[in-house]
Amino acid sequence: MQSNKGKILVHSCCAPCSTYVLDYLSQSYNITILFYNPNIQPEEEYVKRLQEMEKLCKIKETELFIPDYEDYFWMESIKGLENVPEGAERCRVCFDVRLKKTAETAFERGFTLFATTLTVSPHKNAVLINSIGTNAADSFKINFLKSDFKKKDGYRKSCELSRKYGLYRQKYCGCLYSR
């Protein structure tokens, strides 16, 4: 039976943050997850988080797309910002790198809409992320789903679902500078 739901490409920062977002968005969309996080370091940590994303996508029967791990590109993008405080310019550049790649991938794969799980974190600025996502979408003439998934207890629910699924929950955002 054909679903009347629209398609959406969702950038996932990690499996724990994706739990609630997947549940919420699956009510209205057929979801494909994009795991593009060249900021995650060291590579062993990236692999661990990717394995957890694969585990969650298997549980949720959700398609997963994994571009190459381009940590060298991310390092070049944030060059000179290594010592700025968490939540400042380095994070803005990091969001920009990941959401531009998501918009490009969405466009190339025929999606007209994309989103990100980044806004489920209480440590992330949803207004900033939505602005960056909208700009990335505009450059490809597609749409970005503005969100603040931490609202309505989204973050708390993501923590509960992470425990339910036995997911590894990391202690830092991803880059070595956020440790």
Look up the CATH number of the domain holding residue 107: 3.40.50.620
On whether residue 166 sits in a domain, the answer given is yes
Q: Sign of the CA dihedral 63, 69, 73, 78?
A: positive
At 3 the pLDDT is 65
Please state the domain count of the chain. Answer: 1
Question: What pLDDT, on a 0 to 100 scale, did the predictor assign at position 1?
Answer: 46
Q: Pick from 64, 63, 144, 69: which is nearest to 100 by CA?
A: 144
The pLDDT, as a whole number, for residue 173 is: 85
Q: Which domain holds residue 19?
A: 6-178
- Looking at the domain assignment, is residue 100 inside a domain? yes
**Can you give the pLDDT of all 179 residues of the chain as single tens digits?**
456 799 999 999 999 999 999 999 999 999 999 999 999 999 999 999 999 999 999 999 999 999 999 999 999 999 999 999 888 999 999 999 999 999 999 999 999 999 999 999 999 999 999 999 999 999 999 999 999 999 999 999 999 999 999 999 988 888 988 87
Any domain includes 1:
no
Cβ–Cβ < 8 Å for 9, 106: yes
User: 86 in a domain, yes or no?
Assistant: yes
Does 123 fall in a domain? yes
CA 160 and chain centroid, separation = 19
- The answer to whether position 167 is within a domain reads yes
